[in-house]
């Protein structure tokens, strides 16, 4: 039997499920990027807000921008899916708690029905367009945040006819439709404007620096190319709140599907495993209202930037360090890597000795407790969070996770040895073969350009010159290109990784001053 509305009544008693009438849900959010994170984060907070007495006017229309896989899995379940909160009991045995989420109302697959996606954005009831499209979905230059006008999706979407089709044309499938997220957003907003509908909130939930502001810059740059008066309309009326989002959500495996099915007594084609921890700080600037997320523990604040920086630099910065070191050393998962005492010490010292001084003050934060909590989260043995998953798309992640922190340390003359080891680990990782001689694929939208930059750098006679040459890869290094202190620190770390290996290097970098 399959998970479905009519099967909810027969779920085991300890499985949480919608405690409201799903027929009262209205679609208020169009969400682009229906991956696991969106479902275990936005879906869960939205559900909790309804359960806490919030209005059910913000059901989600979920849009997959590429693959039909999520829609195909969840359509027979009428949008129901399970979130499996996983951790270990006091004896260290893995356990899970299941919740079936009900506020995903409809699913669209953009390449199959682009017109329906544009219409969803332009629907009178839509008040928020949210995005979890991963860093690379923004088609921006990672170091500067600027729109990449040479990006194939952007080039394609900018060629579409300017201005929105009239409402009467809306049912016709256009000969040309957008491909990228920015194209859908801007052309969807053009329709709203043409129909005299009010502006909406555009909310990024991705791990970008100042995600709202970055999205705003990209949407406005794109819109200005389409129609400057549209850009003015967006700028005047739409809001782009920044947010800090935090929950570890590993990719679902077949083993997860089996475990969840065994516990549900029903088959869910795409359950989502997640850690119990979740945290969301969002700026309370919503152009057309928002769900009662505050009832669900979301912190709706005037300025989220300090929380964002903390999270990107501490959680994601350490994650990326672990990913590149661990992938080279042959550790498969985050908990396996953090179980090595030297790795744990190294991450703790990177955070307390180097990252901490770059963070804006947060009077309510106990930083040491935050770090302890983070190391506990990483040690969760029930998640099996693969390091290769985190290692993906390094070119899009390094700037905000490690290099911004390094840049600030360098400008105040502070040492960066531990952060530089993470950067060196990424460079080492880019060779595509681990310490055991096992090859892997570099999964990165800039993989070809990175390979070319590496090859060019390799022609230099010394390691220091090779490192220096590679830092001129400006989409990642930006203004830090060729910075002597960074080059020195990275050369030392990379030399040690190459000659002594990951284990010995981490040991030295964890324990030296
Ligand atoms: C991870 C994040 O895959 C990655 O790059 O660092 O997805 C991380 O798990 C989340 O941001 C945690 O909130």
Structure tokens given for 276: 């119990």
> Atom 6 (ligand 1): residue with closest C-alpha?
316
Q: In angstroms, what CA-CA distances link 123 with 34, 126, 489? A: 19, 5, 53
Say if ligand 1 is within 6 A of residue 247 CB. Answer: yes
Tell me the best of 390, 393, 443 to mutate to test the pocket of ligand 1, counting ligand atoms within 8 Å of each CB and taking the most: 390
At residue 413, does pLDDT exceed 80?
yes
Paired tokens of 327: 């992938």
The CA 315 to ligand 1 mean position distance, Å, reads: 8
Q: Is the pLDDT of residue 162 over 90?
A: no
- Residue of 289, 379, 367, 399 lying closest to 333 (CA atoms): 379
DSSP E strands: which ranges in 240-314? Answer: 243-246, 272-274, 279-283, 299-301
Q: What's residue 173's pLDDT? A: 44
Nearest CA, atom 1, ligand 1: 390
How far apart CA 422 and CA 509 sit, in angstroms, is 11
Residue nearest to ligand 1 atom 7, measured at CA: 248
The atom of ligand 1 lying closest to the CA of 245 is 13
- CA distances (Å), origin 143, targets 148, 324, 472, 475: 11, 20, 12, 5
33's enclosing H/E stretch is none
pLDDT digits (tens, 9 = 90+) for 310-358: 999 999 999 999 999 999 999 999 999 999 999 999 999 999 999 999 9
Check residue 175 and give its pLDDT.
53
Alpha carbon distance 164, 179 (integer Å)? 16
Which pLDDT belongs to residue 174? 47
State how far the Cα of 345 lies from the Cα of 361, in Å rounded to an integer.
24
d(CA 467, CA 453): 11
Retrieve residue 367's tokens.
Answer: 């930083």
CB 264 within 8 A of CB 98: yes
Is a pLDDT exceeding 90 seen at residue 234? Answer: yes
Q: Kindly report, residue by residue over 295-305, the tens digit of the pLDDT.
A: 999 999 999 99
401 lines ligand 1 (CB under 6 A): no
User: How confident is residue 161, by pLDDT bands cut at 50, 70 and 90?
Assistant: confident
Pocket test for ligand 1, best of 272, 319, 373, 422 (most atoms within 8 A of CB): 319
The angle that helices 417-429 and 404-411 make with each other, rounded to 10 degrees, is 140
- Dump pLDDT digits (tens) for 113-130: 999 999 999 999 999 999
pLDDT for res 172: 47
150 alpha carbon – ligand 1 mean position (Å): 27
Q: Is 305 in the pocket of ligand 1 (CB under 6 A)?
A: no
- 203 touches 241 (CB < 8 A): yes
Q: Is 30 left (phi over 0), alpha (psi -120 to 50) or beta?
A: beta
Q: Please determine, for residue 293, whether its predicted confidence score (pLDDT) is greater than 80.
A: yes
322 lines ligand 1 (CB under 6 A): no
**Edge-to-edge strand order for the sheet containing 201-204?**
104-109, 59-64, 27-32, 128-131, 201-204
Tens of pLDDT along 457-513? Answer: 999 999 999 999 999 999 999 999 999 999 999 999 999 999 999 999 999 999 987
Closest C-alpha to 315, from 367, 276, 242 = 367
Contact at 8 Å (CB) between 414 and 357? yes
- Tell me how far apart the terminal alpha carbons of the chain are, to the nearest angstrom: 59
Closest residue by Cα to atom 5, ligand 1, is 390
pLDDT band at 171 (very low <50, low <70, confident <90, very high): very low
Please tell me the distance between residue 390's alpha carbon and the centre of ligand 1 in angstroms: 7
Going by pLDDT thresholds of 50, 70 and 90, the confidence category of residue 103 is very high
Task: Write phi, then psi, for 458 (nearest 5 degrees).
Answer: -60, -25
For residue 456, what is the enclosing H or E element? helix 447-458
For ligand 1, is residue 246 a contact (CB within 6 Å)? yes
Q: Which domains does the chain have, with CATH numbers?
A: 5-301 (3.40.50.720), 306-511 (1.10.1040.10)
Whether residue 289 contacts residue 26, with contact meaning beta carbons closer than 8 Å, is answered with no
From the list 241, 221, 244, 240, the residue with the least C-alpha distance to 231 is 221
Q: What is the pLDDT of residue 166?
A: 43
Confidence class of residue 438 from pLDDT cuts 50, 70 and 90? Answer: very high
Pocket test for ligand 1, best of 40, 45, 207 (most atoms within 8 A of CB): 207
248 lines ligand 1 (CB under 6 A): yes
Dist. CA 248 → ligand 1 center (Å): 6
* Dist. CA 232 → ligand 1 center (Å): 34
User: Which of 142-151, 167-176, 439-448 is the least confident region?
Assistant: 167-176
The residue whose C-alpha atom lies closest to atom 13 belonging to ligand 1 is: 246
CB of residue 207 inside a 6 A radius of ligand 1 = yes
């Amino acid at each position: 039997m399959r998970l479905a509305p009519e099967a909810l009544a027969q779920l085991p008693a300890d499985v949480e499920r919608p405690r409201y009438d799903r027929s009262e849900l209205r679609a208020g959010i169009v969400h682009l990027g229906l991956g696991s994170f969106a479902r275990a984060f936005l879906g869960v907070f939205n559900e909790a807000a309804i359960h806490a007495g919030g209005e059910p006017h913000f059901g989600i229309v979920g849009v997959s921008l590429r693959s039909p896989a999520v829609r195909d899995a969840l359509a027979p379940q009428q949008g129901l899916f399970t979130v499996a909160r996983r951790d270990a009991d006091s004896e260290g045995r893995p356990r899970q708690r299941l919740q079936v989420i009900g506020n995903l109302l409809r699913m669209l697959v953009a390449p199959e029905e682009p017109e329906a996606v544009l219409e969803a954005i332009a629907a009178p009831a839509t008040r928020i367009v949210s995005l979890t499209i991963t860093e690379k979905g923004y088609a921006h230059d990672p170091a500067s945040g600027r729109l990449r006008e040479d990006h194939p999706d952007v080039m394609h979407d900018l060629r579409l006819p300017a201005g929105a089709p009239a409402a009467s044309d809306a049912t016709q499938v256009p000969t040309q439709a957008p491909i990228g997220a920015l194209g859908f957003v801007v052309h969807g907003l053009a329709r709203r404007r043409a129909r005299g509908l009010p502006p909406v909130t555009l909310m990024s939930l991705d791990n970008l620096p100042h995600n709202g502001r970055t999205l705003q810059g990209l949407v406005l740059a794109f819109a200005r190319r389409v129609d400057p008066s549209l850009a003015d309309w967006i700028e005047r009326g739409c809001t782009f709140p920044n947010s800090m989002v935090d929950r570890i959500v590993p990719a679902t495996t077949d083993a997860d599907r089996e475990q969840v099915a065994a516990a549900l007594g029903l088959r869910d084609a795409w359950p989502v495993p997640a850690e119990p921890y979740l945290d969301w700080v969002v700026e309370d600037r919503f152009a057309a209202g928002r769900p009662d997320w505050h009832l669900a523990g979301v912190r709706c604040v005037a300025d989220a930037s300090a929380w964002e920086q903390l999270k990107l630099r501490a959680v994601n910065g350490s994650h990326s360090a672990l990913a590149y070191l661990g992938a080279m050393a042959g550790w498969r998962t985050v908990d396996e890597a953090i179980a090595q005492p030297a790795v744990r010490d190294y991450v703790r010292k990177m955070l307390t000795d180097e990252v901490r001084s770059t963070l804006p003050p947060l009077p309510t934060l106990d930083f040491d407790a935050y770090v302890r909590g983070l190391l506990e989260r990483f040690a969760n043995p029930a998640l099996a969070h693969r390091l290769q998953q985190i290692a993906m798309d390094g070119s899009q992640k390094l700037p905000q996770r490690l290099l911004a922190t390094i840049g600030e340390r360098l400008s105040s003359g502070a040492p960066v040895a531990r952060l530089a080891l993470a950067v060196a680990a990424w460079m080492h990782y880019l060779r595509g073969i681990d310490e055991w001689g096992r090859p892997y694929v570099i999964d990165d939208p800039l993989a070809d350009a990175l390979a070319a930059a590496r090859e060019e750098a390799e022609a230099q006679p010394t390691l220091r010159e090779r490192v220096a040459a590679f830092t001129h890869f400006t989409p990642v290094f930006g203004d830090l290109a060729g910075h002597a202190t960074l080059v020195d620190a990275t050369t030392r770390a990379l030399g040690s990784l190459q000659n002594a290996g990951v284990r010995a290097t981490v040991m030295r970098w964890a324990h030296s001053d």
